[in-house]
Amino acid sequence: MSTEILIINGSPRKNKNCFKISEQISKTLTENNISNKIFNIYDMNIEYCTACGFCEKTGYCKFKDDMTPMYEMFDKAKGVIVISPVNFDSITAKLKTLVDRTQAIYASKYILKKPSIDRNKNRIGMYIAVGGSTPYETQFMGGQIVMDFFFKSVNNKLKYNIYLNSTDKLTYEENTEFKNILNENLNNYINDIKELD
Ligand SMILES: Cc1cc2nc3c(=O)[nH]c(=O)nc-3n(C[C@H](O)[C@H](O)[C@H](O)COP(=O)(O)O)c2cc1C
């Protein structure tokens, strides 16, 4: 059976906030009999998009690397969950590299008009942004804009957007209020995923 939920951890740091949130989500999904896989993308070999135009002609990417199996996984999945640090009010560089590589899916749909992803399938997305600073107006704006576009590219309805701030002062594990918010949203997400069957 294909992996139901793809969990993408955009942080390079092991055992820090995004990593631990990813592990917690994976554990909860598994307890609910939902198959899942964590992608620690800083451990993966993902080439930068070079705008070569190959995908506009073929619908797939010319690079063969750790991104290659993900295209089919995005299609087969019931949902994608992305957890990323806020870097300069956006997502991390490696996550942006992954996002840019989904141009192959975008091009197959909108340029080639031969979709490499089933556009009629319902998939549900969740984005969790993690910032070190205390809250300020633009903290999550850049990342949110990019993620809105990414989830469209991989044909997920981005129903859940959750923000965690102030990790410089209080870690995810110490932040009871956030943990409750995450749990509540995750439970709703799990119900949504189960209803897709
Ligand atoms: C290069 C860099 C840029 C950052 N930029 C921001 C920022 O713009 N806003 C913010 O709130 N935190 C910023 N941070 C802090 C991280 O978002 C914070 O440490 C977060 O907890 C990292 O996720 P992790 O703990 O899962 O690795 C930045 C950190 C780094 C290393």
Q: Is the CB of 89 under 6 A from ligand 1?
A: yes
Domains, the chain? 5-195 (3.40.50.360)
Cα separation, 197 vs 133, in Å, equals: 40
Q: Is the CB of 139 under 6 A from ligand 1?
A: yes
Cα separation, 155 vs 36, in Å, equals: 18
Q: How many other CB atoms are there within 10 angstroms of residue 102's CB atom?
A: 23
Give the residue whose CA is nearest to atom 25 of ligand 1: 17
* pLDDT tens-digit series, residues 21-30: 999 999 999 9
Q: Is the CB of 178 under 6 A from ligand 1?
A: no
Break the chain down into helix, strand, coil percent, rounded to 5: 40, 15, 40
When pLDDT is cut at 50, 70 and 90, the band that residue 1 belongs to is confident
Q: Is a pLDDT exceeding 90 seen at residue 197?
A: no
Give the residue whose CA is nearest to atom 5 of ligand 1: 87
* pLDDT tens-digit series, residues 48-96: 999 999 999 999 999 999 999 999 999 999 999 999 999 999 999 999 9
Query: Angle, to 10 degrees, between the axis of helix 141-153 and the axis of helix 103-110?
Result: 50
Give the residue whose CA is nearest to atom 24 of ligand 1: 17
* pLDDT tens-digit series, residues 118-168: 999 999 999 999 999 999 999 999 999 999 999 999 999 999 999 999 999
Cα-to-chain-centroid distance, residue 117:
16
When pLDDT is cut at 50, 70 and 90, the band that residue 171 belongs to is very high
Mean pLDDT, the chain, whole residue set: 97
Q: Which structure tokens are listed for 185?
A: 């949203």
pTM tops 0.75: yes
Q: Is the CB of 131 under 6 A from ligand 1?
A: yes
